[in-house]
Chain A
Amino acid sequence: MNNNIGLSDILLISPMIALFLASLIPITAKVLRGNREQHPLVTLSQALIGLVIAIGLMVVFGGAGRTAFHNGLVFDGVTQWMGVIALAAAGSAMIMMYENPATKGKQFSELIFLAMSSAIGMLILVSAVDLLMVFIGLETMSLALYLMIAMSHEEKLSKEAALKYFILGSFASAVFLYGVAFIFGSTGGTNILSFMDSAAELVQTSKLFLFGITFVILGFCFKVSIAPFHAWTPDVYQGAPTPHTAFMATAVKTVSFAAFLRIIATKSLVGSDHLFDILQWLAVITMIVGNTAAIIQNNFKRMIAYSSIAHSGYVLVGVITAGVSENGAFGASGVIFYLLSYSLMTLGAFAIASMLENNENSIVNIDDLAGFAKQRPMLALCLTVFLLSLAGIPPALGFFGKFYLFNAAIGEGLLWLAVWGVVNSVIGVYYYLRPIVVMYMKEGNADVSTHSLNATTVTAIVMALAIILMGFVSGPIFTAVEKSLM
């Protein structure tokens, strides 16, 4: 094996290099200044510039399905779209970190360094086609994240969340690696491309391979919180500082689904009916568990955590569709579009939650929102848009996300999954309406933080506008996504 690394390899991974260099600037500056924090705004801008450059490099050099490092990484439409969504989401989460009381100030440079490192892991994950590369991406992303959560200025819940996330995340990684070992044993390789064409047959002929691929899939089910592997999600999402929760619920989930799509693209579902059935049931159970559990939550973050579990169920419907269809591009672009819309809505909802936190120990309960609409009409309106969009009310973007997803599912004959999906969105309406009811229809004094939270406000307003406006042009966006995957 020769170890030549060509210029094209370097160009393809240039976004990761850019991110890495940008991540070093704030901590280097801190060291050079004698361990004194530079102004957080400077740190934030350095990070955001790094992200923008990375996105730019990714758009310029990515795409076209080229591979780098001996087929270890691939740069195609999925990489580009999911990568851009993840980086943009990470950037928005960093803006929230800059202003949230649990994350701002002390040790901000370190935090940004970790968040950027996590983003590098994400880019590796979205482009990886070798299962070991997937593992490296997964771990780079997650390790940074464990630390980020533990660094919260809040003393109790965040530490618990970090430990819980660490233990369960490591367990999931172990399950994943276990599966990889079986795949290696049965096919002699870990590269998805190497067994891409034969996977549909292998799952029938080789029990070892079936076992391996099942474990790999289950590992991802942990990561994207598919029931019954979702139990860590509410605790971690609630305990982590709100910006980190936003980061996990959007960027991390998006890239994990990207890797999930790569594994599903091997068409092992076509070969194994059992695997196909199990995944369908997991999707249905996830939707039901997420939506019904969200109904009884009073903590806003916990409610959105369960909602994000439910949305994982919807996305899994799309992943299954992509896995069984002849032309996977339609299903996969449904997934990408849904994750785009979901990320916008969820980021927005967490941005509002972040603004409601006065100090690092704040707990935002739904009942505390009473009177919010009178005090901050603009923010209340934004939150309403996010929640209605999450509920899938047209003409918001969330409706079109669901429309494309279920359209693809019905096109593949998965009518019953689509029916479960829409039935669940009715259940979802109930709890998405609750905060709106409290905000607009109950009297009270919502305890809005008095700090200047301008950047977060702007982020929320931009998201809300994007959700409304992108709803009208969702068609061209979807077509663009689909074209890039063909």
Chain B
Amino acid sequence: MVLSSIVFLPLLFALIVAVWPKQSTLRPLALGLSLIEFLVSLGIFRHFNPASTGLQLVEKYTWIERFGIQYFMGIDGISLWLVLLTTFLTPIIILGSWSSITERVKGFHVALFILQTAMLGTFLAMDAIFFYVFWELSLVPMYFMVGIWGGARRIYATVKFFIYTMAGSVLMLVAIIYMMYLTQEATGTMSASLLDFYSLKIPFVGGTFFSLQTLLFFAFALAFAIKVPVFPLHTWLPDAHVEAPTPGSVILAGVMLKMGTYGFMRWVIPLFPEASEYWAWLFMLIGVVGIIYGALVAMVQPDVKKLVAYSSVSHMGYILLGLFTFNAYGMAGGLYQMLNHGISTGALFLLIGMIYERTHSREISKYGGLAGVLPIFTIAFFIITLSSIAVPMTNGFVGEFFILLGTFQAQPVFAYFAITGVVLGAVYMLWMFKRVFFGEKGELVKDEHHPLHDLNAREIAVLVPLIIMVFWMGLFPNHFLNYSKASIDFLVNNRSNYNLTIHPGDASSVQHAQGGN
């Protein structure tokens, strides 16, 4: 029941918040509830066996018998940290939104909790249709979050976000249904279970686009590529990021983009091993192009938030590159970079939100000399900047280093180009940092009528956990990677014949489900 309670507690919280009568205590209530959720999710460690390669804490019940659709959840080393990232970021987002969300506070928290359920469900669902339900459901609260609490062009941005993502995922639905029929052909009974999908042998013909495995591969890959987003499909992201309210940006960058890369790791690569190997060059190429393109475009942005949004495109390119190396370094680096990006980009958006609340501007040219006025803010911003440009001892370094190591091993050519991204990343972040914090005091900073106040206790409380994570993950990566190592190695070694099984200790719940059939 651990995973079910983790996924559905936020939904219950959404209901509690919806009927909560007192407006004044709403925020502390939501914060408390999200902390409860975080503590409950930490309970996974009590049962989780890091040495196992199988699926753990499995819950499996029949949902729609006619089509073999199950209520099927399970966790392994790949999804573990993404689940914790989600539950870790939510309280921070709620605390960080106390002064930025002033209207329709109740609705905001309801949307946030529903979104949390949808995201956790996406990471934990092991049945294709069950997964798809969460995957699509996640669009709705995000749509409202950007559309109601967003900036001036929020409606354009949110509709674009919705339609882009939806357009990607409907072909995946067709592919899922098709694969359900493939399981029926192979085993006699239809099933939407991911484990049954893994054991399918889908015919692959190289050299042509119109081979079954290639078509299914692209149907899935398109859905995830739009979500990530990879280079030519990324245009919804800067719009959505810039228009979203601070908490919306944090959750979008922190968790929702990971749904795409997680999809590659959990679905695309193990389900279609030959096709993903054959087309790996394409995805590595768009990964590299994304790295360089994102960095170059970020460099010329006059708006800080847009700069960070494009830096996301660049960072997500690294993750894609790492995943398609198919070796342990690249994959582990990709997974680690997902967490890093969630922490550091999330923190950057929070910081930008804090300064925006003070000045109501995000134009870099209007700042300057901020370091002298807001020392604590500057220190926090600097640490996160270092993490974002992957300076050693911060979390970003570990991820990028692993990814580049893996890429050198697999496809050195791509690594030569990808490594320029490290430099470019430092260029746009540090240049922005210089223009905002040093030099002449900008018009907003020297404005005598509106003196700027440094961070208050609440804002420091928002940032401290993130900064701790930056160093913890930077100095002791093994604390985290040890939990994922078995699963990643298993994926790397058995990629062409991935047979994820249910961890033996969990046999009881499975038998229970079979008894239910």
**A interface residue numbers (CB < 8 A to B):** 388, 393-395, 399, 403, 406-407, 410-411, 415, 418-419, 422-423, 425-426, 429-430, 433, 437, 440-442, 474-475, 478-479, 482
Partner of B170, one of A425, A433, A478, A482: A425
Q: Is B205 an interface residue (CB 8 A)?
A: no
Q: Is the CB of B137 within 8 A of A394?
A: yes
Q: How large is the interface on B (under 10, 10 to 19, 20 to 34, 35 or more residues)?
A: 20 to 34
Partner of B181, one of A393, A411, A440, A474: A411
Q: Is the CB of A419 within 8 A of B171?
A: yes
Q: Is the CB of B129 within 8 A of A403?
A: yes
Partner of A422, one of B69, B154, B174: B174
Given contacts A441-B155, A474-B64, A478-B66, contact A419 B136 (CB under 8 A): no
Residues of B within 8 A of A479 (CB): 65-66
Extra contacts besides A394-B136, A422-B173 (6): CB < 8 Å: A393-B136, A410-B181, A426-B166, A429-B163, A437-B147, A475-B67
Q: B139: nearest residue on chain A (CB-CB)?
A: A393
Q: Is the CB of B178 within 8 A of A410?
A: yes
Which residue, of A407, A442, A475, has the highest number of chain B Cβ atoms within 10 A?
A: A407
Q: Is B177 an interface residue (CB 8 A)?
A: yes
Q: Is B133 an interface residue (CB 8 A)?
A: yes
Q: Is the CB of B159 within 8 A of A437?
A: yes
Q: Is the CB of B133 within 8 A of A394?
A: yes
* CB proximity of A337 to chain B, nearest CB, Å: 11
Q: B135: nearest residue on chain A (CB-CB)?
A: A394
Given contacts A393-B137, A407-B177, A415-B178, contact A475 B170 (CB under 8 A): no
Q: Is B414 an interface residue (CB 8 A)?
A: no
Residues of B within 8 A of A399 (CB): 133, 136
Residues of A within 8 A of B170 (CB): 422-423, 425-426
Residues of A within 8 A of B158 (CB): 437, 441
Q: Is the CB of B65 within 8 A of A475?
A: yes
Alpha-carbon gap, A423 to B219, bound state (A): 12
Residues of A within 8 A of B171 (CB): 419, 422
Q: Is B132 an interface residue (CB 8 A)?
A: yes
Q: Is the CB of B181 within 8 A of A433?
A: no
* CB proximity of A479 to chain B, nearest CB, Å: 5
Contact with A along B154-169 (1 / 0, CB 8 A): 1100110011001100
Alpha-carbon gap, A430 to B161, bound state (A): 11
Residues of A within 8 A of B177 (CB): 403, 406-407, 410, 418
Which residue, of B65, B132, B133, has the highest number of chain A Cβ atoms within 10 A?
A: B133
Alpha-carbon gap, A274 to B319, bound state (A): 50
Sort A-B residue pairs by CB-CB distance and give the 3 closest, nearest first. A475-B64, A422-B170, A394-B133
Partner of A415, one of B67, B162, B174: B174
> Per DSSP, are chain B's interface residues mostly helix, strand or loop, or mixed?
helix
Can you list 21 pairs linking A and B with CB atoms under 8 Å apart?
A388-B140, A393-B136, A393-B137, A399-B136, A406-B173, A407-B67, A407-B177, A410-B178, A415-B174, A419-B174, A426-B166, A426-B170, A433-B162, A437-B158, A437-B159, A440-B147, A441-B148, A442-B155, A475-B67, A479-B65, A482-B66
* CB proximity of B483 to chain A, nearest CB, Å: 31
Q: A442: nearest residue on chain B (CB-CB)?
A: B155
Given contacts A394-B136, A394-B137, A440-B147, contact A430 B159 (CB under 8 A): yes
* CB proximity of B219 to chain A, nearest CB, Å: 9
* CB proximity of A196 to chain B, nearest CB, Å: 27
Alpha-carbon gap, A406 to B136, bound state (A): 17
Alpha-carbon gap, A418 to B174, bound state (A): 7
Q: B133: nearest residue on chain A (CB-CB)?
A: A394
* CB proximity of B180 to chain A, nearest CB, Å: 8
Q: Is the CB of A426 within 8 A of B163?
A: yes
Q: Is the CB of B63 within 8 A of A475?
A: yes
Q: Is the CB of A440 within 8 A of B136?
A: no
Alpha-carbon gap, A429 to B165, bound state (A): 11
Contact with A along B270-296 (1 / 0, CB 8 A): 000000000000000000000000000
Residues of A within 8 A of B174 (CB): 406, 410, 415, 418-419, 422
Alpha-carbon gap, A479 to B65, bound state (A): 9
Given contacts A433-B162, A440-B148, contact A393 B173 (CB under 8 A): no
Q: Is the CB of B147 within 8 A of A394?
A: no
Alpha-carbon gap, A394 to B66, bound state (A): 18
Alpha-carbon gap, A352 to B275, bound state (A): 49
Alpha-carbon gap, A406 to B175, bound state (A): 11
Q: Is the CB of B133 within 8 A of A395?
A: yes
Q: Which of B115-150 contact A (CB under 8 A)?
A: 129, 132-133, 136-137, 139-140, 143-144, 147-148
Alpha-carbon gap, A440 to B132, bound state (A): 26
Residues of A within 8 A of B139 (CB): 393
Residues of B within 8 A of A440 (CB): 144, 147-148
* CB proximity of B149 to chain A, nearest CB, Å: 10
* CB proximity of B271 to chain A, nearest CB, Å: 18
Alpha-carbon gap, A486 to B69, bound state (A): 22
Which residue, of B159, B166, B181, has the highest number of chain A Cβ atoms within 10 A?
A: B166
Residues of A within 8 A of B67 (CB): 407, 475
Alpha-carbon gap, A246 to B162, bound state (A): 28
Q: B65: nearest residue on chain A (CB-CB)?
A: A475
Residues of B within 8 A of A388 (CB): 140
Alpha-carbon gap, A479 to B68, bound state (A): 12
* CB proximity of A396 to chain B, nearest CB, Å: 9
Residues of A within 8 A of B133 (CB): 394-395, 399
* CB proximity of A409 to chain B, nearest CB, Å: 9
Given contacts A394-B137, A406-B177, contact A475 B148 (CB under 8 A): no
Alpha-carbon gap, A426 to B136, bound state (A): 12
Residues of B within 8 A of A442 (CB): 155
Given contacts A393-B140, A399-B136, A479-B66, contact A441 B154 (CB under 8 A): yes
Residues of B within 8 A of A430 (CB): 159, 163
Residues of A within 8 A of B162 (CB): 429, 433
Which residue, of A419, A426, A442, A479, has the highest number of chain B Cβ atoms within 10 A?
A: A426
Alpha-carbon gap, A219 to B69, bound state (A): 39
Q: Which of B365-393 contact A (CB under 8 A)?
A: none
